[in-house]
Amino acid sequence: MHPELMRELANQRGREMRAHAREARLARSIRKERHARRDSAETVGMLIMPRIPDYVDGTFRDTERAA
């Protein structure tokens, strides 16, 4: 086979492999992003906020009613 033809075939194969790797990397990043969104959506419902006192001294309004 002629050296120029062999070199061109090798270059073509390299371009194809790089394109395939780029597509695979893009697909992985999309899957990773989807998993992150799904996981964050599941944890949003589990968020527990601390109670904020109603008064400056740190007491709550409902404790006065109970007393």
Instruction: Quote the domain boundaries for residue 28.
Output: 1-45
Q: Is residue 41 part of a domain?
A: yes
What average pLDDT does the chain have? 84
Instruction: Report yes or no on 51 lying in a domain.
Output: no
Q: How many domains does the chain have?
A: 1
The pTM score is 0.53
Predicted confidence (pLDDT) at residue 67 exceeds the cutoff of 80: no
What tens digit of pLDDT does each residue of 22-54 get?
999 999 999 999 988 887 766 666 666 778 888
The residue with tokens 């998993």 is: 35
- Distance from C-alpha of 58 to C-alpha of 56, rounded to nearest angstrom: 5
Domain for residue 64, yes or no?
A: no
Give residue 11's identity as a one-letter amino acid code: N
Q: Given CA atoms 38, 40, 44, 45 in this order, what sign does their dihedral have?
A: positive
- Would you say residue 33 lies in a domain? yes
Rounded to an integer, what distance in angstroms lies between the CA atom of residue 52 and that of residue 47? 15
Residue 12 lies in a domain: yes
Q: Tell me if 52 is assigned to some domain.
A: no
